[in-house]
Structure formats: C-alpha cells, structure tokens
Chains A and B, each alone.
Chain A
Amino acid sequence: MFSRILTSALFAGAAAGLIAALLQFAFVQPVLLHAELYETGELVHFGAEAVSAHPDLPGIFADPMRDGLTLVFAMLTYTGYALVMVALMSMAERMGHEVNARSGLLWGMAGFIAFHFAPGLSLAPEVPGVAYSDITGRQIWWTATVAATGVAMWLIAFGGNLLAYGAAVVLLLAPHLVGAPEPDSFTGPVPTELGALFAARAFGVGMAAWVLLGCFAGYFWQTEGKRADAHA
C-alpha cells in the first residue's frame, strides 16, 4: 500500500512540479524580476520622471543556478502536495469513492483552494518588496488556514449531511474573519500594476498546476493499483 502511494505521488508530483516550474518561468518570473528592479531601487516609482513599463529583463535561464533551484524546489513542493493528496485518495477509495484521472480534477481543485487560494485570499501572494509583518505569525496563520480549509474541502466532498456542510462553511470563513497578520505600515516600492499582475499570475499558475496534479495523481493511483493487482 505504501509503495503504491509513494510511486503514484512521486510520478504525479514530479510531472506537475515540472509543469508548474515551466509555467512559472513563462508567466510569474518576468513579473517577479521586474518587481525586483523596484525592490532594489534600480527603478523608482513616482519619481521625477515616468518609468517605462517595459524594461530589459533577463530571459529565462539567464541565471541557471537560480532557475535550476526553482525547478528543483517546484518539483519538491508539488511532490509534497502529492503525497498528502494520494494518501487521502487511498482513504477515499477505501470508503467506496472512485479515484481516477477524471475525479482527480476535483481533487486538484480542492487542493488548490486549500493550499494556495485560501491562504492567499487574506495573505495575498507577495510580490518582492511588499511590506509584511513578522514571518512566524504569518506562517502560523498560513498553516492553520490550510488545515481548516483542507478539512472543510473533505467535509464538502465526503461529509454528506447538513452538519458537515455547516462545519465546512465555518472552517472556510473563520481564518478570514479572524484575519491574517498585517504589517504596521505600507512600504512597498513596487507599482500596483505589477503587484496585482503578480498575484493574479501566481493564482493562475497555481490552479493550472494543482488541477494537473490531481489529474495525474488519480491516473497514477489507478494504473499503479492495476499493476499491483496484476502482480498479485
């Protein structure tokens, strides 16, 4: 059982992480590098002169070490997500729910909401240079929000009664009603256009990668099961 979970999660996580990294290089990295020009002070917003919105940015893999590490860590992060997801898929299957590539799309959407969208709703994806409060407080809030939203997603999918749905609504809302830790003052030097585009791109790329992760996880979970049955 463990080897089936491990194998499915490794395949799905590596594939989705690779795609996440490629999407990040195409859509997120240019915005991030652009924002870093403001973070470092190379460009200054609202200075004496208007600043061009199209500076020369280094291309993809201009810094092979940096981008290589991004690739490795994206694959690592999505493999971590995949281990959690496939383990829960194995439990759902035991409860009699079908797990395959098709239902995996919903698993991916639920995972995106739990791990990326819900924490990001109150703790927006951080463009470089933004003002922020103490890291520990934000990490605690992030972890609690992911846990509460993850449980809520499970209750919505498998709860099957009004009490479970009610509890899910409370768990979904609570972190945002409590509120994420906020900075004391705003210091961000990055133009709002870049900050908004960064957040939108981070969510978009995250959603695409997560939905594919769920699809791959469902697919590999099923094929690894068939392989195990064939050997048995």
Chain B
Amino acid sequence: MTTKILKATATGSAILPALFAVILGLGIVTLAGHVQASALHDAAHDVRHATGFPCH
C-alpha cells in the first residue's frame, strides 16, 4: 500500500513539472509567434517570417 502511494507520488512529481514546462513553452511560442497585437507583431516581425509562422 505504502509502496503504491510512493510510486504514484513519484510519477506525479515527474509529470507535473514536465507538463508545466510544456505549457510555459507553448505560451512563449504563441506570444512570440502568433499574438497579433501590433506592438508584438512589429517587434517579432522578422523572426516570424524567418521561422515560418503565419505573420500577417
């Protein structure tokens, strides 16, 4: 019983940080690549073109 709980916690503690990092990473990519607010668009313009994001 104890082993089971410990195992579950260990798995949870590995998946949650990874999941959070993926969400954070995708959030940054969306912000830099997709958000159309004009200040962001103008600042990221050349990078968006060069990294293949739909820009305009």
Tell me which residues across on chain B come within 8 A of A123, comparing CB atoms. 52, 54
Chain A positions within 8 Å of B17 at CB level = 1-2, 5, 87, 90
Contact assessment for A202 and B52 in the assembled complex, using a CB-CB cutoff below 8 Å: yes
Asked if A202 contacts B32 (CB within 8 A), the reply is: no
Return chain A residues, CB-CB under 8 Å to B20. 2
Closest partner residue, chain A, to B10 (CB atom):
A94
Q: A-contacting residues of B (Cβ < 8 Å)?
A: 13-15, 17-22, 24-29, 31-34, 36, 43-44, 46-47, 49-56
Q: Closest B residue to A147 by CB, please name it.
A: B26
Count class of interface residues, chain A: 35 or more
CA of A82 to CA of B21, assembled, Å: 9
Chain A residues whose C-beta falls within 8 Å of the C-beta of B31 in the assembled complex = 76, 80
Q: Are A29 and B46 in contact (CB under 8 A)?
A: yes
Note all chain A residues with C-beta closer than 8 A to B46. Answer: 24, 28-29, 32, 66, 69-70
Cβ of A28 and Cβ of B50 under 8 Å apart? Answer: yes
Partner of B52, one of A2, A69, A119, A143: A119
User: Is B21 a contact of A125 with CB atoms below 8 Å?
Assistant: no
CA gap between A119 and B54 in the complex, in Å: 10
Cα separation A152 to B7 with both chains bound (whole Å): 29
**Complex: A231 Cα to B35 Cα, angstroms:** 41
| Interface residues of A, Cβ cutoff 8 Å to B | 1-2, 5-6, 9, 20-21, 24, 28-29, 32, 66, 69-70, 72-74, 76-77, 79-88, 90-91, 94, 115-116, 119-120, 123, 125-128, 132, 135, 138-139, 142-143, 198, 202-203, 205-206
Closest Cβ neighbor of A209 among chain B residues: B51
A84, A202, A205 interface centre (most CB from chain B within 10 Å)? A84
**A24 touching B50, Cβ below 8 Å:** yes
Output the least CB separation between B43 and chain A (Å).
4
- Contact (Cβ within 8 A) A87 B47: no
Interface centre among B14, B18, B19 (most CB of A within 10 A): B18
Residues A83 and B25 in contact, CB atoms below 8 Å apart: yes
CB pair A135–B50 under 8 Å, yes or no, is no
**Does A70 contact B47, Cβ atoms closer than 8 Å?**
yes
Q: How far in angstroms is the closest Cβ of chain A from B34?
A: 5
A139 with B49, Cβ < 8 A, contacts A2-B17, A9-B25, A77-B29 known: no
Can you report 14 A-B residue pairs in the complex whose CB atoms are below 8 A from each other? A1-B14, A2-B21, A5-B18, A20-B51, A28-B49, A73-B43, A80-B31, A83-B21, A83-B22, A84-B22, A84-B25, A90-B17, A126-B55, A132-B54
